[in-house]
């Protein structure tokens, strides 16, 4: 077996501080596939909160820090479509050109399907699952089939589409606190779609969407679980 390239994790600020289990699951899946994994310790955030709030200077400062932290990485794997897209699509907007490392940045599910070339990671998860398309993954990174292919290969898992899977959960970063009623209303509409699918678990490749949905689920005490794709793929 050939030696695999080194993978550097960018776990994102939200996974680092609120959902570390997602980073741990991602590490497990990548190591099972034989990738040497490292974690550049000076990493923090990609800068998206400032960029989306109209503060390009502050976003640039944080983005520069990210670029410095991952300067020597071969593959940078991220458990978020939104943060990946910030780096691969929007750093060009704040720096005037695409940074040199952008092609080395991969959203987790796409790394599995397109770089590792696997659909079946040998996971087992018993239950009915529905997949929520997170907006930046879907519309900026064009990720739609990959996570579904990975889920379909999980033993014991039944994948059931909700209608519509593609509508926003209403998080939108600072939008969720600037317009809480609208954001909450959007989340409740999304939850209705999940409930109608009768899936017990909603899976996404973005923890921020799941944080938004979990908050509403907990408030309404609904029997739905939120899980990041990495957690499902790490399960055995």
Partner 1 sequence: MTGAQSETVKQTLGDPRLQLAIYSATNRLMTHRAGAVQQDRLPDYQELRTHANLLKKHTIDHLDYYLEQFEKNVVAHGGKVVYCSDSQEVADFVLSLAKERGARLIVKSKSMTTEEIHFNERLEKHQLEAVETDLGEYILQLAEQRPYHIVAPALHLTRYDVAEIFSKKLGVEKEVVIEKQTMIARATLREKFLAADIGVTGANFLMADSGAVVVVENEGNARLSSSAPKIHIAVAGIEKLIPRAQDLGVFLNLLGRSATGQPLTVYTSFLSGPRRGGEVDGPDEFYVVLLDNGRTKLLADPEKRQSLYCIRCGACLNHCPVYRKIGGHNYPWIYSGPIGAIITPQFHGVLKDPWLPFASSLCGACAEVCPVKIEIPKLLLTLRQEVTAAKQRQGAGGMERMAFRIWAWLMTHPRIYLMVGKIGGPFVGLLPKVGPLGKWASQREVPKPAKTSFHAWWKQREASK
**Least distance (Å) from partner 1 to the CB of residue 74?**
18
Q: Which is nearer to partner 1, 48 or 201 (CB)?
A: 48
Q: Which is nearer to partner 1, 94 or 157 (CB)?
A: 94
Interacting residues toward partner 1 by CB under 8 A: 11, 13-21, 23-24, 39, 41-45, 47, 49-56, 58-59, 61-62, 64-65, 93, 135-136, 139-140, 166-168, 170-187, 189, 211-212, 214-216, 218-219
**Least distance (Å) from partner 1 to the CB of residue 117?**
27
**Least distance (Å) from partner 1 to the CB of residue 3?**
19
Q: Which is nearer to partner 1, 119 or 167 (CB)?
A: 167
Q: In the structure encoding, which two tokens stand for residue 48, read together?
A: 């998206």
Q: Which is nearer to partner 1, 14 or 233 (CB)?
A: 14
Phi, psi of 112, rounded to the nearest 5 degrees? -65, -50
Q: In the structure encoding, which two tokens stand for residue 209, read together?
A: 């969407």
- 131: closest CA among 226, 219, 236, 223? 226
**Least distance (Å) from partner 1 to the CB of residue 120?**
26
Q: Which is nearer to partner 1, 130 or 206 (CB)?
A: 206
DSSP string across 88-118: IIIHHHHHSS--TTGGGEEEHHHIIIIII--
**Least distance (Å) from partner 1 to the CB of residue 195?**
16
Q: What is the spatial distance between Cα 174 and Cα 190, in angstroms, rounded to a whole number?
A: 19
- 11: closest CA among 29, 28, 2, 24? 24
Q: Which is nearer to partner 1, 184 or 200 (CB)?
A: 184
DSSP string across 14-83: HHHHT-HHHHHHHHHHHHHTT--EE--TT----SHHHHHTT-HHHHHHHHHHHHHHTTT-SEEEES-HHH
**Least distance (Å) from partner 1 to the CB of residue 100?**
20
């Amino acid at each position: 077996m050939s030696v695999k390239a080194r993978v550097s994790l960018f776990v994102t600020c939200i996974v680092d501080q609120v959902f570390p289990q997602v980073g741990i699951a991602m590490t497990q899946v990548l190591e099972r596939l034989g990738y040497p994994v490292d974690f550049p310790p000076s990493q923090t955030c990609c800068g998206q909160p400032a960029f989306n709030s109209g503060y390009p200077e502050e976003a640039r400062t944080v983005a520069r820090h990210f670029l410095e932290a991952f300067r020597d990485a071969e593959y940078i794997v991220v458990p978020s479509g939104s943060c990946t897209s910030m780096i691969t699509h929007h750093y060009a907007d704040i720096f005037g050109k695409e940074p040199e490392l952008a092609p080395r940045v991969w959203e987790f599910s796409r790394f599995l399907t397109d770089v590792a070339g696997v659909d079946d990671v040998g996971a087992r998860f018993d239950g009915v699952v529905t997949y929520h398309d997170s907006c930046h993954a879907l519309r900026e990174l064009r990720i739609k089939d990959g996570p579904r292919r990975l889920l379909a290969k999980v033993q014991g898992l039944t994948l059931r589409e909700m209608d519509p899977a593609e509508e926003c959960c209403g998080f939108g970063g600072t939008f969720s606190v600037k317009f809480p009623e609208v954001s909450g209303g959007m989340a409740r509409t999304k939850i209705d779609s999940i409930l109608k699918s009768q899936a017990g678990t909603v899976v996404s490749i973005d923890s921020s969407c799941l944080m938004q949905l979990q908050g509403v689920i907990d408030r309404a005490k609904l029997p739905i679980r939120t899980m990041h794709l990495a957690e499902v793929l790490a399960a055995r």
